[in-house]
Amino acid sequence: MEKIGFIGLGIMGTPMAGHLIAAGYPAYLHTVGEVPPSLVAAGGIACRSAAEVAAQADIVIIMVPDTPHVEAVLFGENGVAESISAGKVVVDMSSISPVATQEFAQKIEALGADYIDAPVSGGDVGAKAASLTIMCGGKDSVFERVRPLFEKMGKNITLVGEAGAGQITKVANQIIVALTIEAVGEALLLASKAGADPARVRQALMGGFANSRILEVHGERMIKRNFAPGFRIALHQKDLNLALSTARTLGLSLPNTATCQELFNSCAARGGDAWDHSGMVRALELMANFEIGQSA
């Protein structure tokens, strides 16, 4: 059985590592602060650094917040690069820059090891339920080697392409989710201000071509005024920042992604960093001086 490493044991990493330990994998663990005692009790081995994890484990999984954290784990002091060796694999499941990922993969491969980027969607609920969607970039043979681990953590697991393709797919996912939330917000706000019952409009639209899970789930949140997260605006701001900076690097214009980021920024300016991302509609409502469901 492959020995695994897991670096980054936060709200996502802890349950994900837990599933692997429960499946019997020898697990070398490291995180900022203390390794959760529950994971040690279950058989995990706490290590003092990322380098120590990489020295012990065959497959090193990383699950940290953003690009600079991955960079520090890999190439910082006592980082993975100090002790990784040929035949081992780095699996970055964080959601970070696709462009930086291609660079990280090259540097790890230059050390003789392999690299897979494998960001997820599904949030902490999906992490706990082992039902994450996992979007992967890397070599086919390496993906097949890691797949049994992915299957302990997720359900919808796709190899999209070469290194970076997983991160690109995750960014594309977050663009569509944000812009569809905004679309539902504009539509329900117009309908409500025009005097129609937004709940009945949503119901009618769910029968047709405009339907989506986002109309169902987030349309209902907007009508019921339930903006408890869910997926926090601060996280989606991070993702759209990746989208916009990647687009600028590549020479693309993403006009509605830019607008959605501004709407998130407006929410954050009003203390809404921790609202569910469907709370983006509140920025549209502020501009209209009208809330969905208010009598017109």
Of 137, 145, 119, 123, residue with least CA distance to 15: 123
Question: Binder to a second copy among 175, 233, 267, 280 (CB under 8 A)?
Answer: 175
Residues 140-159 that bind a second copy (CB under 8 A): 156, 158
Q: Which stretch binds a second copy (CB under 8 A): 29-37, 109-117, 221-229, 253-261?
A: 253-261
Q: Which residues pair with 30 in a beta bridge?
A: 7
Q: Does 222 bind a second copy (CB under 8 A)?
A: no
- Phi and psi at 59, nearest 5°, equal -125, 115
Write down the least CB distance from residue 71 to a second copy, Å: 19
Mask for 64-103, x = binds a second copy (CB under 8 A): ----------------------------------xx----
Question: Binder to a second copy among 33, 87, 255, 271 (CB under 8 A)?
Answer: 255
Q: What six digits make up the tokens of 157? A: 């697991």
Q: Which is nearer to a second copy, 39 or 159 (CB)?
A: 159
Q: Which stretch binds a second copy (CB under 8 A): 50-58, 75-83, 145-153, 160-168?
A: 160-168
Q: Which is nearer to a second copy, 57 or 181 (CB)?
A: 181
**Cβ(244)–Cβ(97) below 8 Å:** no
Q: Which is nearer to a second copy, 75 or 290 (CB)?
A: 290
How far are the Cα atoms of 44, 127, 230, 235 from residue 91, in angstroms, in the given order? Answer: 18, 16, 26, 21
Residue 170 bears catalytic tag = yes
Of 294, 279, 105, 84, residue with least CA distance to 181: 279
Question: Binder to a second copy among 27, 70, 146, 171 (CB under 8 A)?
Answer: 171
The Cα–Cα gap between 84 and 223 comes to 51
Catalytic residue selected from 152, 170, 193, 238: 170
Q: Which residues pair with 132 in a beta bridge?
A: 154
Which region, left, alpha or beta, applies to residue 195 given φ > 0 means left and ψ of -120 to 50 means alpha? left
Q: How far apart are the first and last CA of the chain?
A: 64
Residues 196-215 that bind a second copy (CB under 8 A): 196-197, 200-201, 203-205, 207-215
Q: Which is nearer to a second copy, 31 or 257 (CB)?
A: 257
Write down the least CB distance from residue 149 to a second copy, Å: 18
Q: Does 131 bind a second copy (CB under 8 A)?
A: no
Question: Binder to a second copy among 58, 162, 220, 273 (CB under 8 A)?
Answer: 162
Q: Beta strand 114-117 with 59-62: parallel, antiparallel or unpaired?
A: unpaired
Question: Binder to a second copy among 189, 233, 280, 281 (CB under 8 A)?
Answer: 189
The Cα–Cα gap between 148 and 137 comes to 16
Write down the least CB distance from residue 258 to a second copy, Å: 9
The Cα–Cα gap between 252 and 169 comes to 16
The Cα–Cα gap between 172 and 2 comes to 32
Active site members: 170
